[in-house]
Amino acid sequence: MNSLGFDKRPEETRVVVAMSGGVDSSVTAALLKREGYDVVGITLQLYDHGLTVGKKGACCAGQDIYDARMAAEKIGIPHYVLDYENRFSDAVMQDFADSYLAGETPIPCVRCNQRVKFRDLLAQSRELGAEAMATGHYVRREAGRAGAELHRGVDPRRDQSYFLFATTPEQLAYLRFPLGDLPKTRTREIAAELGLAVADKPDSQDICFVPEGGYARVVEKLRPGAAEPGEMVHVDGRVLGRHTGLINFTVGQRKGLGLGDLNEAGQPLFVVRLEPETRRVYVGPKQALAIGTLSLREVNWLGNPGELTENVAVTVKLRSMTEPVAARLTLGPGGTARVVLDEPQFGVAPGQACVFYSGSRVLGGGWIRREAAAKAA
């Protein structure tokens, strides 16, 4: 049995590595090649080069494609660039715009993994005769009694399991994550030891197709006329002023409200709710952000078949950079779920993900619904 779990020698096992041009995927390819695997590198061109060429911290465009090609050449593996621009636009960018217009705060990185990398690229890997596809994500894939399980990466500062909750059991059976047991510092050391030019390349930041964090500008470009003005309303019903478009706001936002950002008591105001039907932005004190119950859609379940799925004690992550908090989970029909938090949480934004854990294991997750988020008592 080789290190990827196949009963054959590494040189008889073909593996496709999704190479973004960064240090993580480059080291993934290099480690597998060093073990003797038949490695093929593939880089996806996902969006218009003109949008982000030269932007630090982007991925999957101009400079990054070049970096991936140079890394593959250094490692000594074949490398291919596939034009997925139209697929990415249809599956990710359009959804991003629609989500913002619906008053949500989307996570396009999850959609990209779900609809492009782990669906279309995985299918392409099979067509190339690969028995597995590897990525540079900091997560672990472990063998369980009912099949492959997804677990958090050992380095809590780099764990990316939040972004992979939508991975299906079938996809997980095919995927491999060689960096899951490494800290990021060790990955960079390995890159330097192997002479890879990307050893010191900055990590990708923010959303790849959004230049300099300008979310509203991208939405306006995808949906001309989307920035319609409306009222700024206090949660007590008072109209406080006007805004220039819902796409400029997200739940939990404090700065840039144009209201002096303070209430009568000198406390900061926050965006509490977005109402696209009336184009209203509701603001209020921090306590108005408290949420005790969440309703989810498009739930992906990675737990074992036949396990209890009602009032299950779990921990959940509501943002990628926060620690999991205790909750009770009940799965419903049609890919829905209800999550009751042990303690109220603040600034939970519709459109974000709620990911379920049991210890280090990812049990799945879903998207937070706007209309069904319930305030804490």
Any idea which residues carry the catalytic annotation?
112, 208
Residue 16's contacts (CB-CB under 8 Å, 6 or more residues apart) are 39, 40, 41, 42, 121, 124, 125, 128, 130, 132, 133, 134
Please tell me the distance from the alpha carbon of residue 289 to that of residue 271, in angstroms, as a whole number: 8
Please tell me the distance from the alpha carbon of residue 291 to that of residue 349, in angstroms, as a whole number: 10
Please tell me the distance from the alpha carbon of residue 172 to that of residue 149, in angstroms, as a whole number: 7
Q: Around Cβ 230, how many Cβ atoms within 10 Å?
A: 17
Report the 3 state secondary structure along 270-288. Answer: EEEEEECCCCEEEEECHHH
Please tell me the distance from the alpha carbon of residue 155 to that of residue 152, in angstroms, as a whole number: 8
Residue 108's contacts (CB-CB under 8 Å, 6 or more residues apart) are 92, 93, 95, 96, 207, 209
Residue 213 contacts residue 169 (beta carbons within 8 Å): no
Q: Around Cβ 173, how many Cβ atoms within 10 Å?
A: 12
Residue 360's contacts (CB-CB under 8 Å, 6 or more residues apart) are 140, 151, 152
CA 137 vs. chain centroid, Å, equals 11
Long-range pairs for 114-118: beta carbons < 8 A, 24 or more residues apart: 114/166, 114/167, 115/91, 116/44, 116/46, 116/84, 116/87, 116/88, 116/91, 116/92, 117/18, 117/44, 118/166, 118/167, 118/168, 118/171, 118/175
Report the candidate in 329, 319, 320, 322 with the shortest Cα–Cα distance to residue 293.
Answer: 329
Please tell me the distance from the alpha carbon of residue 328 to that of residue 315, in angstroms, as a whole number: 8
- Per DSSP, 335 falls in state G
Greatest extent of the chain over all pairs of C-alpha atoms, in Å: 71
